[in-house]
Structure 1
Amino acid sequence: MRLHLITVGEPKLKYAQAGWDEYEKRLRRYHKLTVSRVGGKTQAAESEAVLRAAGKAPLVLLDPRGEQWTSEGLSAWLDAQALGGTGELAFAIGGPEGHTEELRAQAARLWSLGALTLPHDLAMVVLTEALYRASTISAGEPYHRG
């Protein structure tokens, strides 16, 4: 399956860039991966840029209002999307103000990484690690030990 990771901006902190780079590299063993870094001067402009970047792919927004998954649940959901013929999924992390209501309304799914508020850079690392972990579960590999 193709995964499109969309972020508002780049990781700024060294640890986050290193984590992003590591898990992005690992994810490429399982999926065709596209990364888009978008920007905008306002929350609305950022949301418009995210929507443009996603194109026709179903959009999954990382958002505190979203559903929380276990690693096994995310793996099963990704597998179901692939079996259902979804060729590409777009995952988007918004800017400091989050996503607009208009963008949320157009999303295929809202996904919450948990009840904690995470810094933007850390959320980027958690997203890529979670997708990698789910991919190893689907492949029956030993990375995940629950």
Structure 2
Amino acid sequence: MRLHLITVGEPKLAYARAGWDEYEKRLRRYHKLQVTRVAGRTPEAESDAVRRAAGRAPLILLDPRGRQFTSEGLSAYLDAQALGGTGELALAIGGPEGHTDALRADARLLWSLGELTLPHDLAMVVLLEALYRAATISAGEPYHRG
């Protein structure tokens, strides 16, 4: 499956850049990846940029109001999307103010990484690690030792 990762901004801190690069490289073994960095001065401008970047791909927004997954649950969800004919998913991390209600209404899924508030840079790394872990579970590989 093709995963289109859309982020408002990019990791600024060295640890986050290194983590993003590492997990992006690992994830490319399992999925075709496209990464798009968008910007905007307001949440509305950011949401418009995310919508344009996603195009026709079903949109999954990282949002604190969203569904939480276990690693196995995320793996099963992504597998079901692929089996259901979804050739591409767009996953988006918003800016500091989050996504607009209008963009949330257009999303296929709101996904919460948990109840903790994470710094933007860390959330980007957690997203990629979660996707990588889900891919290794689907592949039956030993990375995940739940």
SS at match of 1:60: strand
Aligned positions of 1:25-40 closer than 5 A: 25-40=25-40
Output the amino acid matched with 2:92.
Answer: A
Percent of paired sites with the same residue: 84
* Deviation, structure 1 residue 62: 0.1
Output the amino acid matched with 1:145.
Answer: R
Tell me the distance in 2 between the aligned counterparts of 1:81 and 1:41: 33
Tell me the distance in 2 between the aligned counterparts of 1:56 and 1:107: 11
Tell me the distance in 2 between the aligned counterparts of 1:26 and 1:113: 20
Aligned positions of 1:48-87 closer than 5 A: 48-87=48-87
For 1:88-140, what per-residue CA distance to the aligned partner results, in whole angstroms no more than 9, with x for missing partners? 00000000000000000000000000000000000000000000000000000
Tell me the distance in 2 between the aligned counterparts of 1:43 and 1:81: 28
* Aligned residue in 2 for 1:91: 91
* Deviation, structure 1 residue 65: 0.3
Moved over 4 A (4+): none
Structure 2, gaps ≥5 residues long: none
Q: Compute the TM-score of the two structures, normalised by the length of structure 2.
A: 1.00
Aligned positions of 1:1-146 closer than 5 A: 1-146=1-146
Tell me the distance in 2 between the aligned counterparts of 1:27 and 1:53: 20
Tell me the distance in 1 between the aligned counterparts of 2:71 and 2:126: 12
Tell me the distance in 2 between the aligned counterparts of 1:105 and 1:125: 25
Tell me the distance in 1 between the aligned counterparts of 2:55 and 2:45: 16
Tell me the distance in 1 between the aligned counterparts of 2:42 and 2:110: 21
SS at match of 2:3: strand
What is the count of residue pairs matched by the alignment? 146
* Deviation, structure 1 residue 25: 0.3
Output the amino acid matched with 2:83.
Answer: L
